[in-house]
Amino acid sequence: QSALTQPASVSGSPGQSITISCTGTSSDVGNYKLVSWYQQHPGKAPKIMIYEVSKRPSGVSNRFSGSKSGNTASLTISGLQAEDEADYYCCSYAVSSTVVFGGGTKLTVL
Amino acid sequence: DVQLVESGGGLVKPGGSLRLSCAASGFTFSSYSMNWVRQAPGKGLEWVSFINTDSNYIYYADSVKGRFTISRDNAKNSLFLHMNSLRAEDTAVYYCARDGAGAVAGTLLDYWGQGTLVIVSS
């Protein structure tokens, strides 16, 4: 149950697009279409942004999109806004019915 | 509105025990699987455990297997985490989270509580 690998930080200017990668293995990301992404603001509970690789829950902006290729999943945020500044975590179902999170990526909006 | 309210956190000595509770409201609790997820101070999220609707399927992270026990009481709309043999590395905010997609662990954690802090220290 090793954590998925995410970049520690990414940054972008308002209006730009950024992509956060999430690399796992064939035991998790690579073998299941069950990757989700969570946004967490300081002192707050996480919020679901993407599930099952690319599905958006009701109420989540269409500026957020997800994809997967092989063992790597990605979250793209287009039209960056100040309120997007937060920590982002990927998450995947894994073998033996376990769940593994990524280490988290801090997004800074410049 | 869906609400999840955790309680039971606090300061406990290494080797001690604690029971966390999560009170659910605003949805049919018995129809949803549930998870516990924790976050050590300044660190990332770590999945802890999953329980399905009728408690037939229960899974744990390797880091807590054999020490923690997840359970639920559908009649009381409550989720529990019994924690034994606590270690310093168990210090974290513990969140309960609803699994909105069904019987597969961690697929869609669509609602989270605000968390309860557990500190393991002598």
Mean pLDDT computed over A45-63: 96
Cα separation, B22 vs B11, in Å, equals: 18
- Strands B92-99, A105-109: parallel, antiparallel or unpaired by DSSP? unpaired
Tokens of A105: 């990526």
Structure tokens at B46: 């770590």
CB B11 within 8 A of CB B119: yes
Distance of CA B10 to the CA centre of its chain: 15
Q: For residue B102, is pLDDT > 80?
A: no
CB of A89 within 8 Å of a chain B CB? The answer is yes
pLDDT of residue B104: 82
Mean pLDDT over A37-56 rounds to 96
Chain A contact set for B60 (CB, 8 A): 98
Q: Report, as an integer, the average pLDDT of A82-88.
A: 97
Which residues in chain A (1-30) have CB-CB distances under 8 A to chain B?
Answer: 1, 3
Q: How far is A78 from chain B (nearest CA, A)?
A: 22
- Of the candidates B45, B62, B101, the beta carbon closest to that of A46 is on B45
Residue A43 buriedness (CB in 10 A; 0-12 / 13-18 / 19+):
exposed
Is the CB of A99 less than 8 angstroms away from the CB of B45?
Answer: no
Q: Residue B63, class by beta-carbon neighbours within 10 Å (0-12 exposed, 13-18 middle, 19+ buried)?
A: middle
Cα(B114)–Cα(B96) distance, rounded to whole angstroms? 8
Query: Considering CB atoms only, which of B47, B110, B115 is closest to A99?
Result: B47
- Identify the closest residue of chain A to B4 by CA–CA distance: A45
Question: pLDDT (tens digit, 9 = 90+) per residue, B18-75?
Answer: 999 999 999 999 999 999 999 999 999 999 999 999 999 999 999 999 999 999 999 9
Mutate to test the interface with B, among A27, A37, A87, A98 (most CBs of B within 10 A): A98
CB contact under 8 A, A52 and B101: yes
User: CA of A103: which chain B residue's CA is closest?
Assistant: B44
Amino acid letter, residue B66? G
Q: Given a cut of 90, is residue B11 above it in pLDDT?
A: yes
